[in-house]
Structure 1
Amino acid sequence: MNAMGWMRMGAFAMVACLPAAAQADGEVCTQVATTTLETAGAEISSSKMQEAGSGLPKHCIVTGLANQRVGADGKSYAIRFELRLPVEWNGRFLHQVNGGNDGVVVPALGDKRDGMASGGTVPLARGFAVLSSDSGHSGSDPANTSLGLAAGAAFGLDPQARRDYGYAADMTLAPIAQKIIAAHYRKKPEYSYMAGCSNGGRHTMVAAERMAESYDGFLVGNPGFDLPRAAIQHAWDLQALVKADPDIRKSITRDDARLISSRIIEACDALDGIKDGLTSNMAACQKAFDFKSLTCASGVTQGCLSEAKVDALKTIFAGPKNSKGEALYSDWPADGGVGTGNWRAWKVESPVAPWNNYPIIATMGAASLNYIFSTPPIAVEGSSGKLIEALLKYDFDKDAPKIYARNEMFKESAMDFMAPPEVDDPKLAALRKAGHKMIIYHGQADPVFSVNDTIRWYEKLNANLKGEAAGSVRLFTLPGGTHCGGGITLEKFDALTALTDWVEKGKAPDQIIASINPANKEIPASWSPARTRPLCPYPTYAAFSGSGSIEDATSFVCK
């Protein structure tokens, strides 16, 4: 057998052969061991040693796949994964769950998104063994090319692919990764973590209920835990914006977006005790700012918005409803980051292909809402124009209930396989019984998943736990932050260390220090590049203490 390969033995076993002496320093990708996998059909595709470079340590890269099969749609499926094993291992395992519609095995570095890197150092470089996967489907299947921009969601035609995307791939891979790690290092991980942003945050929240015992800590960023309901918002947005201008790209222009942001900051900036360009006191801001204040007075055309544009904004921020006035998702808060960062890209206009200058969500959202989140799935032509048309025709009375629908072929609804099982009544009993921890962070101006929805989830959990939710879960909101990075905000922070300190040392995070991302071009010139702020656990916020530099986190308290 090839010394760098793993081979299946029967349906369950994988073997690697190298002299035992070569294993002593951990610098090889395989080891004399027979690892019996309890998941049938798993196999290793390749393993190779990667020398140190580009900020990464010397490490082993293992690729593999599990559960190869032919789907109900006649296409081939498998759960593909990558596991990176650093030579200098810190004893920890991190399952990096990815965003969007998945479908790609991204490099298992631990990700560079806010909250997961320390001083720009990714978790792999900090010594974590890291796993990533495509969640059971390929987003670039050549058989889907005729679907154009909808191809990445076409796996929704297969019930098992839906289930894998929702939760089953994570449940399949966790024990596989643990066994490979144990064989490679000759000991199990001391601590295991799961982390991700957006859909990755959803994966993590789902895992905290479905497989709470598998991970000691869960790091959740801008979570799409309510993703099927949030997808309805995308149709709601476009139907509101097209009334402001038939060309959606002109409904809220870049100048309009800057105006909205500046007016919210003007109304809410000082509510945290100091004028610093941040809407830290988000709760008070909702009373201080009214979108009506943006409306142009008679004869005025500058520094204001038309009544049609204001009506569109008010409709969007109120959240989607059916004809009975029943909420289908969530409302949204006013925050100084609205209109900045990636807000317009998701809501109004994407700056680059492949979305042909239309909103990202017009393509990703329309395809997902129809192929993945509707039962039965609805085929949609894959041009950006056809996808937008699908959202503009979406019926909130007839189509919205399809996210809860099941049939003989699709026995789980979209809410069944995508959301945490207790999404509307969380208790996290298994997580609490195991003594495990969760940190959630969420941008207040997130245009994809409303921070208000996350806050309501947390408040319900806290009510169920009689005010003791903070013993297991803490939520941090980012003033000015948009979707998984960007906005007028301080977006560099190390929530992963905060989580490991909580799990391993019992040190609960009373604040997490955030600093400026120098790559963020929207940071006001008046801000010091060295500015820092505490991120505070909800419901507290960073308030000025009354003395000290406004550029220094030590001048602020969580109030």
Structure 2
Amino acid sequence: MYPRLTTTALPRAFAASALLLTLCACGSDSDVPPPVPGVAELQQACARMAGTTVAPSRIGLPSGAATVTAAVLVPAAGELPEYCQLQGSIAARSAGADPIRFQLNLPTTWNQKALMYGGGGFNGVLIDGTAALRDAPAGMARPLAQGYATFGTDSGHDATSYNATDPGRFALNDEMLVNFAHESYKKVKDTAHALMAGYYLRTPSRQYYFGGSEGGREGLVMAQRYPADFDGIVSVVPVIHWTGLFNGFINFSKPQFNGGALNTAEIRLVADAVNTACDGLDGIADGVVSNYLACPARFNLQSLRCAGGADVGDSCLSDAQLATLQAAYGPTVMPFALANGLTTYPGRLFGGEIQPGSEGIGRWITNGQVPQVPTPLATDARGVNYGSSYARYVIARDAAFDVRNFDAATFRTRIQEVSALMDATDPDLSAFLRRGGKLIVRENSGDMAQSPMAGIQYYQSVVARMGQSAVDGFMRLYVSPASNHGGTAASLTTGTLVPTTTDLLAELDRWSTTGTAPADALAQVRNATTAPYTTLASRPMCRFPGYPQYVGGDASLMASYRCATSAP
């Protein structure tokens, strides 16, 4: 079906054809659209797209109208091709709510496919769809350069003025919270298709979604709530069990008010102890914990306890510090059931304590700083900041609420409401399977922002619900050992970067268009950062439950590893 647009913004050369498409009785998916206009026509069409509106009736949820506020033909520059950049917004439906901002990039040489980018954190910043994909190898062409039409959104709120310390403030508005939860992505996708139908005279032959962290949650939500909208989804380190994770942030924040913060030396103490216990479990002592499921049985945080439990310096951990770490590495148990019956958020895995880019414990859990209340400092560990914002704005809905007094049982009704909105834990993907959708999930075992076990447990719940054979036909879960939330990893002992990048968009597109499923072992590479982007090292990223086991030879080559089964 080709959505109705106002035609004043379309080039005269094909406005009549676009209008005919919206009016004819042949608007089913089986119709053959007219040829895509030529480059010259598309160049002329771009500026005229400004002012184009998409009626609420063409958006698959109750919505305000969408309006293109700016249309600019961007010349080819660097690696990006010539494209028509559309920026616009979808009007709010209630007083006080922000519009949903979006950007759509339409290459004049189009591969007839589209890719939606996911967001991150609490969103609130416009995702423009021009960046390199998460975990993309150096030298890999960006999707826009590959001919994809790309687009993204701010998810329906503008947090640029307060994101550093109060990222959850928008949640005081019900419409903005629902848009963040799931509605904005559907609305923007429908708007983008309406605009593509007006510009290219057809909607894309394939529509994909690619996101990580919060964006990974968004991708899974699309498969669960809007299974007919996307042909394929890549979900990287997804915040699947959002509500459980954020309650866990609060749990590891509380001990830090009473001596539970860890400084850099104490974090190093933990990292070294983990490495001593678990580095060799993958067949090679290289400062990388690759056998991620075997490590927890071989390392106990209590082995680092100071005699008597008091803080006596950096050579051991106090009881308060151990409480902080136990809350991060241990499960978060809720006193009632959340969406889809879940009561527990799993703990983190060992092996990502110190990582490149200041990732690891210091970025997400504790950095030696005692938290501030009610408003945290921008320099607090990010999990501390996020937990406070969740407690104050999403649950208590009181900016002055003291997170130290947070008790989940007191807020049962509100937490369950939020869980029903936010959590991407529904294991029934049968509708997505029936429409031919493909789903690739990547977890990073060294992730300190969220637990990779949440993704593993979700995958297992889908298998339990749908059966292994059915799941094998449309879903893959891969685990990148030791990789942090941002995707990188380095040897704890030498500092050498580990190969962690891979092209999951190509795997998804091949699976969707040809039916060729991704291999059980995908090549992860570390490329030079300048042309010709020579591959310096490679290692397999194994399909769960596998991990890369060293079998001999050059440790920088993928051929020196095999995917072995990782087990507790």
Is residue 87 of structure 2 the alignment partner of residue 77 of structure 1? no
- Cα gap change, 1:316 to 1:547, in 2 (>3 Å): closer
**Which residue in 2 is equivalent to 1:281?**
291
Question: Residues 154, 535 of structure 1: CA spacing in aligned structure 2 closer, same or farther, 3 A cutoff?
Answer: same
Contact 1:135 1:169 in 2 (8 A): yes
Closer/same/farther in 2, CA of residues 164 and 293 from structure 1, 3 Å limit: same
Find out whether 1:416 has 2:420 as its counterpart.
yes
The Cα RMSD (Å) is 3.2
**Secondary structure, in 3 states, of the residue corresponding to 1:357?**
coil
Instruction: Report the CA distance between 1:118 and its aligned residue.
Output: 6.5
* Alignment-derived partner of residue 49 in structure 1: 73
- Per-residue deviation, 1:332: 1.9
Whole-angstrom CA distance in 2 between matches of 1:518 and 1:311:
41
- Whole-angstrom CA distance in 2 between matches of 1:244 and 1:324: 30
Match of 1:15 among 1, 8, 19: 8
Within 5 Å, which residues of 2 pair with 1:346-361? Answer: 346-349=364-367, 355-361=377-383
* Cross-structure match for 1:490: 499
User: Shift of the alpha carbon at 1:222?
Assistant: 0.9
**Distance in 2 between residues matched to 1:540 and 1:345, nearest whole Å:** 28
Q: Say which SS state the counterpart of residue 280 (structure 1) adopts.
A: coil
Partner of 2:111: 90
Over 3 Å counting, the alpha-carbon distance change for 1:308 and 1:162 in structure 2 is closer
1:502 aligned residue (511, 518, 533): 511
The AA in structure 2 aligned to 1:430 is: A
- Kindly tell me: are residues 350 and 414 of structure 1, through their superposed partners in 2, closer, same or farther at Cα, counting changes over 3 Å? farther
Identity over aligned residues, as a percent?
25
Q: 1:62 aligns with which of 78, 86, 105?
A: 86
> Counterpart in 2 of 1:241?
256
Q: Cα distance, 1:183 vs. partner?
A: 2.3
Which residue of the partner structure matches residue 553 of structure 1? Answer: 558
Structure 2 Cα separation of the partners of residues 256 and 302 of structure 1: 5
* Residue 182 of structure 1: how far off its partner (Å): 2.5
Q: Where does 1:68-217 land on structure 2 (aligned, <5 Å)?
A: 68-71=92-95, 75-114=96-135, 116=136, 119-140=139-160, 149-150=165-166, 152-217=167-232
Quick one: structure 1 residues 94 and 201, their matched pair in 2 at CA, closer, same or farther if it must change by over 3 Å?
same
- Classify 1:322/1:84 alpha carbon distance in 2 versus 1 (closer, same or farther; 3 Å): closer
**1:64-94 CA distances to partner (integer Å, 9 max, x unpaired)?**
11133443xxx24211110011222222100
In the superposition, relative to structure 1, how do residues 480 and 110 fare at CA in structure 2: closer, same or farther (>3 Å)? same
Change (3 A) 1:153 1:312: closer
CA offsets 1:256-288 (integer angstroms, 9 cap, x no match): 222222221221122222223222211111212
| Match for residue 480 of structure 1 among 459, 479, 482 | 482
CA-to-partner distance for each residue in 1:143-193, whole Å, 9 max, x for gaps?
xx7x9832x423212222111111111121212111212322233212110
Amino acid at match of 1:547: G
TM-score (norm 1): 0.82
Greater alpha carbon shift after TM alignment, 235-244 vs 190-199:
235-244
SS at match of 1:349: coil
Cα distance in 2 between the residues matched to 1:547 and 1:348: 38
Rounded to whole Å, the distance in 1 between the matches of 2:44 and 2:319 is 66
- Residues 101-124 of structure 1, C-alpha deviations (whole Å, 9 max, x = no match): 11121322154421x567343211
Q: CA deviation at 1:36?
A: 6.2
- Match for residue 493 of structure 2? none
Is 1:397 aligned to 2:409, yes or no? yes
Q: What displacement does 1:307 show?
A: 4.5
| 5+ residue gaps, structure 2 | 16-36, 370-374, 491-497
TM-score by length of 2: 0.81
The answer for the alignment partner of 2:29 in structure 1 is none
Give the residue type in structure 2 aligned to 1:170: Y
Cα distance in 2, alignment partners of residues 350 and 172 from structure 1: 42
Distance 2:325 2:528 in 1: 31
Provide, for residues 308-366 of structure 1, a one-character-per-residue CA deviation record: whole Å limited to 9, x for no partner: 43343223311333579999542324322124342211211399x99442122333332
Secondary structure (helix, strand or coil) at the match of 2:222 reads: helix
Q: 1:516 to 1:307 in 2, by over 3 A?
A: farther
Residue in 1 that maps onto 2:540: 534
Question: Within 2, Cα distance between the matches of 1:461 and 1:325?
Answer: 19
| Structure 2 counterpart of 1:256, from 263, 266, 286 | 266
Query: Are 2:380 and 1:366 aligned?
Result: no
For residues 526-557 of structure 1, what are the alpha-carbon distances to aligned partners after superposition, in whole Å with 9 as ceiling and x for unaligned?
xx98221111111111122x232111112212
How far is the alpha carbon of 1:58 from its aligned partner? 1.4
Q: Which runs of 5+ in 1 are unaligned?
A: 1-7, 246-250, 382-388, 405-412, 520-527
Q: Residue 82 of structure 1: SS of its match in structure 2? A: strand
**3-state secondary structure, aligned to 1:98:** coil
Q: 8 Å contact 2:430–2:466 — kept in the other structure?
A: no
**Pair 1:378-2:397 in alignment:** yes
Tell me if structure 2 keeps the 8 A contact 1:444–1:479.
yes
Contact 1:230 1:329 in 2 (8 A): no
Residue 315 of structure 1 aligns to which amino acid in structure 2?
A
User: Does the residue aligned with 1:101 lie in a helix, a strand or coil?
Assistant: coil
The one-letter amino acid of 2:293's match is: A
Alpha-carbon displacement from aligned partner over 1:207-256 (angstroms, at most 9, x marks no partner): 011111111100101111211221111110111333444xxxxx211122
Q: Give matches, 1:439-458, under 5 Å.
A: 439-458=440-459
The 3 A distance-change label for structure 1 pair 349 and 296 is closer
